[in-house]
Amino acid sequence: MNRKITVTLVAMCSLAMAITLIAQAGSDPSSEVQQMEKEMRDAQKSNDVTWYQQHLADGYVEGHSWGDWATKSEAIKQAQDKSITFTKGEISDVKVASFGPDTAIAHYKFTYDATFNGTHRARTVICSDTWLNQSDGWKLASSHCSHVEGK
């Protein structure tokens, strides 16, 4: 009788683990990455350095719409710069394509009015971000924004 109970419990636990693993493997990271995009733009507007330290992957690189590149350390330094101020920053049209459970590409429109290093910029940009799901959560590996002419 004890053997039947043990075998039944082991089978039930194995089935529960298999269902969990299948659900995780087939999960779509779209909603989580969309939320990360919104958090990133909020962190940018509020100079939240901690967000950048936690969510930029090693080897991160970003391309700015005004033609500059920035590494992870430069992006963190920029987030610390209190002279960078936003009066407006709206993210819209966020779309996410997932490539398995651990890679996602987000693209969106970002309209902002800000001052960077004494230069005022008010524009709309289209952006593309590459996200990697690593052992400690989603990390941004690369970001690039291009100016939308006339906006």
pLDDT tens for each residue of the chain, 151 residues long: 666 665 454 444 444 444 444 444 446 788 899 999 999 989 988 889 999 999 999 999 999 888 889 999 999 998 998 888 999 999 999 999 999 999 999 999 999 999 988 889 999 999 999 999 998 899 999 999 999 876 5
CA angle 92, 129, 80 (to 5 degrees): 90
Which amino acid, residue 57?
A
Tokens 């291009």 label which residue? 146
Q: What is the reported pLDDT for 132?
A: 96
Which DSSP symbol is given to 47?
A: T
- Please enumerate in sequence order all residues whose Cβ is within 8 A of that of 33, keeping only pairs 6 or more positions apart, or say none: 96, 98, 104, 106, 131, 138
